[in-house]
Structure 1
Amino acid sequence: MNENHILELEEQKSELGKVEISPEVIEVIAGIAASEVDGVATMRGNFATGVAEKLGRKNHGKGVKVELAEDGITVDVSVVITYGVAVPEVATLIQSNIKQALQTMTAIELQAINVHVVGVQFESAEPVDQDEA
Structure 2
Amino acid sequence: MEEKEKHLTEEETSEGLESTETLDSSTVTGSVKISEEVIAQIATQALLSVKGVQPASPGLVANLRLGKKSSSGVKISVHDGEVPSIAVEAYVTVKYGLRIPDVAWDVQESIKKNLEQFTGYTVKSVDVYVQGVFFESPQKEEETAQSSAETEGTSPPERSEL
- Structure 2 unaligned blocks of 5 or more: 1-26, 60-69, 139-162
C-alpha distance after superposition, 1:41-64 (max 9, x if no partner) = x211358xxxxxxxxxxxx93101
Counterpart-to-counterpart distance in 1, 2:126 and 2:58: 19
User: Structure 1: how far apart are the matches of 2:75 and 2:122?
Assistant: 16
TM superposition shift of 1:123: 1.5
TM-score (norm 1): 0.67
Give the paired residue count: 100
In the alignment, which residue of structure 2 is the partner of 1:43? 55
Distance in 2, Cα, partners of 1:46 & 1:80 = 11
- Aligned partner of 2:72 in structure 1 is 62
Match of 1:129 in 2: none
Give the Cα–Cα distance (whole angstroms) in 1 for the partners of residues 71 and 50 of structure 2: 15
Q: Which residue of 1 aligns with 2:129?
A: 116
Larger radius of gyration: 2
Confirm or deny: 8 A CA contact 2:58 2:91 kept in the other structure.
Answer: no
| Distance across 2 between alignment mates of 1:33 and 1:46 | 17
The structure with the largest helix share of the pair is: 2
Task: Note the C-alpha offset of 1:16.
Answer: 4.2
- Identical-residue share of aligned pairs (%): 36
The one-letter amino acid paired with 2:131 is: V
Between the two structures, name the one with larger relative contact order (CA 8 Å, sep ≥ 6): 1
Q: 2:55, 2:73 within 8 Å by CA — same for their partners in 1?
A: yes
1:88 aligns with 2:131: no
- 1:75 corresponds, among 88, 98, 101, to 88
Q: In the aligned structure 2, how far is the partner of 1:44 from the partner of 1:115?
A: 11
For structure 1, the residue ranges without an aligned partner over 5 or more in a row are 1-13, 48-59, 126-133
Q: Distance between the aligned counterparts of 2:39 and 2:113, measured in 1?
A: 12
Distance of 2:74 and 2:49 partners within structure 1: 14
